[in-house]
Chains A and B, each alone.
Chain A
Amino acid sequence: MSAKIFKARHAMGPLVRGTALVASDGFSARYDLDRIKGVFSRPAHKLAGQSYVGKILVLDTAKGGVATAWMLHEMKSRGIVPLALVLNSVNPILAQGAALGDVAMLAGFDQDITAAVPNGAEVEVDPAQGVLKLI
């Protein structure tokens, strides 16, 4: 059986495999996360209370300010970081943060990626090919 594959228009970082944590909501490291505990902490966020550590986050769009550009790097240094970020749309800050932190990232799909990937699915993020695969 062939894997289901989604092509992204923007990609960077290393190839990774892991469990998808999916929500139709935004992402900002400063606004949404308790970076000490490694969980989503913004009460209104659809993933509030859930751990993001080691997960492949599949979310809608980048939100908020510029701090994420440093915070991915800082979280990675402590091992409290998502494995990859997969979004319908990103802003420059997420891309800059992924570049500094060497975090895999895909963005820009022909469909709503948060509806296409089941929460908890095992997925592969392959930035060199610019694709997300459901394993």
Chain B
Amino acid sequence: MKLNDEEQDILAGKAGPVPQLALKHQIKVGDFFGAKDFVPVTQAHIMADTESLGEAGVQWLEGLAATTEGQRRVRVPTITDPRGTDFAKAEWLGQTSAMVDLERRAIAAFETLGVAMTNTCINYQTIQPPTRNEHTAFGDTGVVIYANSVCGARSNFEGGPSALSAGLTGRTPRYGFHLEQARRGTLRIEVDHTPASLNGWGALGGVIGRIAGNYWAVPVIEGIEGAPRSDQLKHFGASMASFGSTALYHLVGLTPEATKLSDVSANDLPVHRVTKADVEALQRSYHTDDTVDVVVFSAPQLSLYELADLALLCDGRRFSVPMLAVTSPQVKPDSDRMGYTARIEAAGGAVLSGMCFYQSYAREISEARGWKRLATNSAKLVNILGGYGYRPMLASMEACVDAAVSGKLVRT
């Protein structure tokens, strides 16, 4: 990679060992992908729950934080994805003190490095959405695909070590979706059905993600009617990224880089049709039982509007199985203030904050609480939880709330 004077100084250790280590890591990744140089970034977002870090990852962070020589604080605003717990609910979730202690150590290290503990995977709704052509280093695939596609910003998937490195150096290797040519469509998707529900949008995203199939594929999607809401595109993109490792899509006539088809697509791209039946088939494939042990709304964290909808569905109900709604630390105080939290809790539900279900020791929670059959309206969550030993089922928010009352999931 070609390094400018500042980068050569960082590599030589003139800014201290922490940014030097960060830049070395970035050069390894940049060289792997053939990046020619670095691009400055304005903000970074770190995925770093302790289930992923483990003791080794936390010790690595603590090593950086303990360094007193040179610069050890981030150079650009750097925020965090959900933590591995909601400290107020850790015991109820069946999490151990060792898990909670590891979280506290990770937080202490991040704070020493100057990282702001926002603990959210919906920063594009709650912190600061990026603008078109803004280069960022975002972690969490759902954040990246929303920022790239809906906002027209420029980010690759930046895993925790790389996002932290970008925060520490203020730059990232220029490859992938930082480059104009990588943002052109690689396949066309014609849909004949515009979903209304969030689970429907998630299922559509899942079908398209499976077709796209890998990180470098960029679906160009036609046939969506109306103007989708932020929460709908949140579920759509998060699921597409989960099923397909997809980081960018274009909705013709809707997203900023695709005013018309020819803006992002050559004439000879392969065309795939996605029907309502395809979307329903994906949802049905997760209807594997009619009894549920737990209902979870999470992945991504819920917006204030989703919590308002959920509170309305909870009014006058009484749950027979646990129901969890997971949101961000930015939304939770508003949910409390508007009375949504109290209405959900009055039905027997729990509103958790600052975590996300699958990033919070889901396997250990399953074993501690005996939760296997899980109903959710998140297509992303059902795609992930199979590997954690769950039998996840995808249904509408309404059907999931009904299941929390009766313990039975009605097939839709």
- A-B interaction: yes
Q: Which residues of A contact B (CB under 8 A)?
A: 10-12, 26, 28, 30-34, 36, 41-45, 61-71, 73-74, 76-78, 89-93, 95-97, 99-100, 105
From B32, B160, B247, contact of A69 by CB (8 A) = B160
5 additional contacts, CB 8 Å, given A11-B32, A43-B386, A66-B47? A65-B140, A78-B54, A89-B214, A96-B159, A99-B28
Chain B residues with CB below 8 A from A67, complex form: 47, 49, 52, 159, 359
B227 interface hit (Cβ, 8 Å): no
Q: Are B33 and A95 in contact (CB under 8 A)?
A: yes
Distance to closest chain B CB from A65 (angstroms): 5
Q: Are B245 and A61 in contact (CB under 8 A)?
A: yes
Q: Are A63 and B159 in contact (CB under 8 A)?
A: no
From A36, A62, A69, contact of B245 by CB (8 A) = A62
Q: Are B214 and A61 in contact (CB under 8 A)?
A: yes
- Hey, what's the 0/1 contact readout for B240-272 against A, CB within 8 Å counting as 1? 011011010000000000000000000000000
Report the separation of the CA atoms of residues A26 and B55 in the bound assembly, to the nearest whole angstrom. Answer: 27
B237 interface hit (Cβ, 8 Å): no
Q: Are A66 and B158 in contact (CB under 8 A)?
A: yes
* CB-based nearest A residue for B216: A89
B348 interface hit (Cβ, 8 Å): no
Main secondary structure of the interface of B (DSSP, over half): helix
From B56, B245, B363, contact of A91 by CB (8 A) = B245
B215 interface hit (Cβ, 8 Å): yes
Chain A residues with CB below 8 A from B244, complex form: 63
Q: Are A41 and B387 in contact (CB under 8 A)?
A: yes
Q: Are B384 and A70 in contact (CB under 8 A)?
A: no
Q: Which residues of B contact A (CB under 8 A)?
A: 25, 28-29, 31-34, 47-49, 52-57, 60, 139-141, 156-162, 175-176, 213-216, 241-242, 244-245, 247, 358-359, 363, 383-384, 386-389
From A43, A64, A69, A78, contact of B162 by CB (8 A) = A69
Answer whether A70 and B32 are a contact pair too, CB < 8 Å, given A30-B384, A92-B156, A93-B157.
Answer: no
Q: Are A66 and B159 in contact (CB under 8 A)?
A: yes
* CB-based nearest A residue for B384: A31
Q: Are A77 and B54 in contact (CB under 8 A)?
A: yes
Distance to closest chain A CB from B168 (angstroms): 14
Chain A residues with CB below 8 A from B213, complex form: 61
Report the separation of the CA atoms of residues A115 and B361 in the bound assembly, to the nearest whole angstrom. Answer: 35
Q: Are A66 and B383 in contact (CB under 8 A)?
A: no
Q: Are A97 and B159 in contact (CB under 8 A)?
A: yes
Q: Are B215 and A89 in contact (CB under 8 A)?
A: yes
Q: Are B383 and A31 in contact (CB under 8 A)?
A: yes
